[in-house]
A and B are shown apart, each in its own frame.
Chain A
């Protein structure tokens, strides 16, 4: 995927969305938070050139995004960019750890399900994937809270840090990790199920291939055969899929953040939604899409490292 044109198209798309909303764009952007003073409206009109022809408005909108100007939030008394950047870290931590978790566990479980295909392990793994595939993640999160936070008391029910602070440095990060466990697992389960199925199918397909027969005939030990030869080839579809997951994880984190009170972009989007602050909402959408584009570039890079036949485009 060529990154820059995609970002450009997304920005164009957002511009149309802004004009699709009923009403005067200035009042749509200002929201209904009671913050829309006449001065603020005038400022919005000037900043986005709303009194000028549509084409000029569009060019100005693109220019604003290119110069990372996403407007100013009246509610928070802060620029939208710094609001978004302030929350981006928490979301990337949540989405990133859940992607690593789902890729790692999915690869492992898929491998086991393929190698022990006629045993009870494989049946159990398939049962778990089928259930994880069908569960709404927000509900899973709530049920995990009931079991692991309320009943067992193993992990906190919500938030990212203990109120009052758990200390600085390592103590702080341990505290964050403790809060991260449940939301990260919740967000990872759906894709873990997907990777398990993909990996299982991929390993089974590779085991039938000629190179495996050849290696076996040459006396390569079974364990080495799987780890050195099959795994490397079978993992390719997973890497491709992981690129798709980035968008899914960023979107899914909205629900998971709402369930676990995780102070990330999703929560911000939610607050913006209820304040009807469309400008902030579109800023979040644009920057999240940029993250997806960057992640896809990264996936292409990883792909070309694992599989030298793939040329970087």
Chain B
């Protein structure tokens, strides 16, 4: 329950962090008035605003599919949080096949995006949805292949088991290539800059979400931030030791705070990239996945396998 509660609030925290971090990186401070210090209450104000907005469903839209789409995008990210360990005993469910389950469930949200784009009956929405689908399929492969190398090294699919296996050292030191591939592929899965062609505002307005207003749109935003938390959490477990602290002082601080700190740091990194890199072009993006990341990930798996057999 604690874990669930944390993950229902964390996306909002990340959303707030995005506002503020970007504001300071770009020297445009934005709303600083609400609530006093640094406009902390702006998030509440935004929430109230979203609730008040008119809920518009376009006339040509398929209203059922249109209405269901935000939920289909959102639910997978909530379902992931059930298996992510936040401490040696702090998890909702320790599935044998934890990481495999997580990767499978994240693949569902693309169906929601396709539903949203198609049901809007708007060509920009449809192009955005198709771009998102092509991108998510292309980058799911490197994501899974990068995780496979970690699973091979840990010898288990369970997320708790993988965290435990990193008791002596984190896998970022043995799998730096895997970490790089995983982070890049996560960015693309989240359609975050520099991989945000599906919502490229200069070309297709806001992609699949163009026609959405009010709470439904807020759902998509929450799903995006929930996705950042989810992928940061998975990357923390796979490569940064999850709830394992650093040596010497590791035992002084409970695992929950280690894990939260790592998730926060990775989320900050993801937001940082948005302020740093320009958007890729659609063909560059596809080429990067198929020509660079996937062969690299396959080579990573091969090397991991050979080393594992040799060390044994």
Whether chain B is bound by chain A comes out as no
Hey, which bits of chain A sit against chain B, CB under 8 A? none
Hey, which bits of chain B sit against chain A, CB under 8 A? none
